[in-house]
Amino acid sequence: MPKQITIAGLDFDLPSAEEVGIVQGYICDEAAARHLYQTWCDRIRNNLTPIIKKFRAQQVGEQAIRDHVAEYAAHYKFSLLGRQAASGNGAADAQLQAEIGAIARDYIKQYLAEQGRTLADISDGQLIANLERVASNPATIKMAKRRLAERRRTAASLLEGVNL
């Protein structure tokens, strides 16, 4: 059964969990499959909200917007920036992934700014592909690890003597 979501005041029908391959199966139970599908829908909403708002401000037709959402949803796949950095430690991996993603985004934004452009000037597909390219670079992963290590050292120094 399709799922309806609201983005920037417009309702959209997304494909069913079965249609996008998020179903109960060998690897996940029903609760996990439902949660994964909800997360998939939420990511689509979050990723498209600024784009839909931009389209509406530019008075793009509603059917064109709906077609864009349908196309995006049909091809959206979860991605994990810097996935080769995973260590098996959930909290540490989450921090590292977040730092890798932030570094990649900062460098993409800087690159675009040097050309007089912003993230809004490129397609979602271009953004995701280039974020993954930058995030998977060993230098990016190394930089993220260094930044996190420096933060831990700084926190230890700043919090010395704190007794909570």
Residue 78 near residue 43 (C-beta atoms within 8 A): yes
Of the candidates 38, 35, 47, the residue with the CA atom closest to the CA atom of residue 4: 38
Domains of the chain: which residue ranges?
Answer: 1-78, 81-164
In this predicted structure, what is the pLDDT of residue 25?
Answer: 60
Angle at 74 between CA 72 and CA 79, to 5 degrees: 70
Question: So what's the pLDDT on residue 86?
Answer: 42
For the chain, state the CA radius of gyration: 19
What pLDDT was estimated at residue 76?
77
User: Which DSSP symbol is given to 27?
Assistant: S
What is the H or E stretch that residue 14 is in? strand 10-14
Q: Cβ of 42: how many Cβ atoms within 10 Å?
A: 11
Contact 3, 21 (CB under 8 A): no
3-state SS assignment for residue 132: helix
- What's this model's pTM, rounded to 2 decimal places? 0.47
- What is the mean pLDDT for each group of 10 consecutive residues in the chain (164 residues)? 83 83 67 84 85 85 87 74 44 74 90 93 79 85 91 89 82
